[in-house]
Structure 1
Amino acid sequence: MSQVPTDRVYNDSHEWLMDNGDGTATVGISEHAQEALGDLVFVEPPKIGDELSAKQACAVVESVKAASDVYSPISGEVVEINEQLSDSPELINGDAYGEGWIFRLKIADPSEIEALLDADAYGEQIADD
């Protein structure tokens, strides 16, 4: 079973969000999601400056099995993307919760974070998959 870090919150579509404490948040896909996809071969992140809405498709991760949309857990402006993923998409497979982050955004509405799943609720969701 996938581990579910408790220092972040989760979308029911398997993205995680970690509040950086400075008005920004880091976003990636969960270990559960990367395990389901298999070996990643390509990541198309959003563009810096993109204005995202909560639950908006904003990036694509592609594996040898399938391509999958990545949804923004909350609304905000993309302020940084993980440049390493263009040459090494497999970073997500090896470290989904660390080096495999996909983008950072400036948080538009901090109250949206409260609507996301905590680690326990997300763990229960994936246990049912």
Structure 2
Amino acid sequence: MGETELHWRDFLLSLKKGGMHGDKLITSDEHSGLLKAPRSALPGVPVQRYQALLQRNAVVYIPKADIREAVASDIRSMFNAPDHEEAERLLGKTVEKYRDKTAQLAVWMDGESASWFRVFCLSGEAWSDQYS
């Protein structure tokens, strides 16, 4: 069946039927089928994109090798923030920092950020459909 939404939905439902429970978060890459399937198979369970893949994806938007480590450090600081509010604050600061140096990176970060911070729902923060 491949990577289709139907395949992943059936897979997740088979795990659920087999006794999987207590689901808090799904971590995945950016396959569209896997990102969509949990909505019907595991409603209310957020999907978090792999943070390492997000960092690797950022490299595409960094035109100068000399700022790659700084960008990686800034992204890590967002992932290591103590809460969602601080992660969003750091994101805003980082987007502004790179807006003039590399506008494509800033636009990408701003557009992708909803898929970066779903993990914070595990720390007791309320989950919202705005992150779906």
Whose helix proportion is higher, 1 or 2? 2
- Greater C-alpha Rg: 2
Looking at both structures, which has the greater relative contact order when contacts are Cα pairs under 8 Å and sequence separation is at least 6?
1
